[in-house]
């Protein structure tokens, strides 16, 4: 098959490791031809470009800034991206007979380009639903369903519904996502919605005791403490004010150390907190390359997930997978609607707490200090290999496509 994958993510190399590149390499390994269309943001000051090598091609399209910018700039860039992608595809890929078009949210504004390509090529369409927008923006106060902001909400909601309508298949991250989607969009046929979870190519970054010691020295992590690590985005969806409260509550705990790695709009707020309150059992580190980050995890003991308590949509952060790969049990501080915490606790590799209760977090830390972390981490790794590998996700997608073709 000729497969087109649309994303606003930055594709530097198909050989990089992420939930998307890992999956696309699996398609390549199974004999398909894969084309990716990705965003090249304005700040990079580089033109649209296309290259093809073997059965893989990448079209990087010059767009406006979509990340690390103000809401107005981001909104304008997001609205324009569909037409920019459509023009670039027409110029560089107009002669390719696509059989399958895959795309992820965010953004929902790819509906225009997907609709045009589907009509032209007759390709099957598969949405990897990673983000339920605009409701997630409403939940955390970035958008409103009424007033002036309501106009924008209604526009995006129409595009969201259109994206669902033109998608032959919708793959959700978990069963809670499936249930939410069908409840709030009853017009979607049940048979085209399925669980297609975040998945990775599982690798081994295990370290010996001496190796862990060297890694702790390399990353400035103290020896003799249990290390609780958070890696990922520091933004509004992660509920950074709650993370800050949890850090304050544990700042005098001499048995633990927090390693926080990432970037985002709330990163400066964390820097200010650590500086002004002289919190010494925390290290805040900027984002690092994926392989370096995975190696660093081997020197830690417990992974952490944070989600804003106000969410009504069930998020499922993909950072969970790297913790499981590193055999780290996980503390999931989430809203009541996410099922990530239930999966963790029911399968014995972590703890769940409400992301509006510091006491819950403190108790989870206490439980972790008294638990067999190695045994729990191995349970997480086992669950990962049984449920969240790209090979299993690939098989599920192909099985779904073939089933619909024969029905």
- Tens digit of each residue's pLDDT, the chain (407 residues): 999 999 988 787 899 999 999 999 999 999 999 999 998 888 888 899 999 999 999 999 998 877 777 777 877 878 888 899 999 999 999 999 999 999 999 888 899 999 999 999 999 999 999 999 999 989 888 888 988 778 888 999 999 999 999 999 999 999 999 999 999 999 999 999 999 999 999 999 888 889 999 999 999 899 999 999 999 888 888 889 999 999 999 999 999 999 999 988 899 999 999 999 999 999 999 999 989 999 999 999 999 999 999 999 999 999 999 999 999 999 999 999 999 999 999 999 999 999 999 999 999 999 999 999 999 999 999 999 999 999 999 999 999 998 766 65
What CATH number corresponds to the domain at position 280?
3.40.50.2000
List the domain range (segments joined by +) for residue 324.
209-387
227 and 175 housed in the same domain:
no
Task: Provide the pLDDT for residue 12.
Answer: 79
Q: Which helix (H) or strand (E) holds 33?
A: strand 33-41
The reported pTM is 0.92
174 and 288 housed in the same domain:
no
129 and 224 housed in the same domain:
no
Taking phi first (over 0 means left), then psi (-120 to 50 degrees means alpha), and beta for anything else, what does residue 262 get?
Answer: left
68 and 181 housed in the same domain:
yes
310 and 176 housed in the same domain:
no
48 and 27 housed in the same domain:
yes
Task: Provide the pLDDT for residue 45.
Answer: 84
183 and 328 housed in the same domain:
no
264 and 124 housed in the same domain:
no
273 and 181 housed in the same domain:
no
372 and 246 housed in the same domain:
yes
In angstroms, the CA 26 to CA 31 distance is 9
In angstroms, the CA 284 to CA 255 distance is 18
23 and 115 housed in the same domain:
yes
Strands 256-263 and 169-172, by their bridges, are unpaired
> Cα-flanking dihedrals φ and ψ of residue 30, to 5°?
-95, 20
182 and 224 housed in the same domain:
no
How many domains does the chain fold into? 2
Task: Provide the pLDDT for residue 404.
Answer: 65
Task: Provide the pLDDT for residue 294.
Answer: 93
Q: How buried is 401 (Cβ within 10 angstroms: 0-12 exposed, 13-18 middle, 19+ buried)?
A: middle
Q: Which helix (H) or strand (E) holds 88?
A: helix 71-92
Cβ atoms of residues 164 and 185 within 8 Å:
yes
Beta strand residue intervals within 188-265, DSSP E: 193-195, 226-233, 256-263
């Amino acid at each position: 098959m000729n497969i087109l994958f649309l994303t606003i993510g930055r594709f530097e190399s198909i050989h990089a490791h992420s939930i998307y590149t890992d999956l696309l390499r699996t398609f390549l390994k199974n004999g398909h031809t894969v084309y990716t269309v990705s965003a090249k943001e304005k700040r990079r000051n580089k033109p649209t470009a296309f290259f093809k090598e073997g059965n893989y091609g990448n079209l990087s399209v010059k767009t406006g800034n979509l990340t690390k910018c103000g809401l107005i700039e981001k909104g304008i860039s997001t609205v324009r991206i569909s037409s920019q992608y459509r023009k670039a595809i027409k110029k560089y890929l107009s002669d390719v007979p696509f059989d399958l078009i895959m795309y992820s949210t965010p953004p929902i504004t790819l509906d225009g380009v997907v609709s045009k390509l589907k009509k032209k090529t007759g390709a099957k369409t598969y949405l990897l639903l990673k983000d339920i927008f605009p409701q997630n923006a409403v939940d955390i106060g970035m958008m409103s369903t009424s007033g002036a902001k309501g106009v924008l909400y209604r526009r995006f909601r129409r595009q969201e519904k259109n994206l669902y309508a033109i998608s032959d298949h919708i793959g959700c991250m978990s069963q809670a996502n499936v249930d939410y989607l069908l409840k709030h969009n009853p017009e979607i046929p049940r048979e085209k919605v399925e669980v297609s979870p975040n998945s990775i190519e599982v690798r081994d970054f295990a370290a010996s005791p001496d190796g862990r010691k060297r890694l702790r020295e390399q990353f400035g992590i103290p020896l003799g403490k249990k290390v609780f690590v958070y890696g990922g985005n520091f933004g509004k969806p992660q509920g950074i004010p709650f993370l800050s409260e949890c850090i304050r509550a544990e700042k005098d705990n001499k048995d633990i150390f927090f390693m926080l790695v990432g970037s985002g709009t709330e990163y400066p707020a964390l820097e200010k907190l650590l500086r002004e309150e002289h919190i010494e059992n925390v290290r805040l580190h900027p984002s690092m390359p994926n392989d370096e980050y995975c190696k660093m995890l081997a020197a830690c003991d417990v992974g952490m997930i944070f989600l804003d308590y106000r969410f009504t949509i069930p998020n499922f952060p993909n950072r969970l997978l790297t913790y499981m790969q590193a055999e780290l049990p996980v503390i999931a501080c989430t809203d009541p609607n996410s099922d990530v915490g239930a999966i963790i606790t029911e399968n014995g590799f972590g703890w769940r707490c409400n992301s509006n209760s510091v006491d819950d977090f403190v108790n989870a830390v206490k439980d972790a200090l008294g638990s067999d972390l190695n045994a729990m981490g191995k349970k997480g790794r086992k669950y990962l290999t049984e449920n969240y590998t790209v090979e299993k996700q690939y098989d599920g997608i192909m099985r779904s496509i073939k089933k619909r073709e024969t029905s």
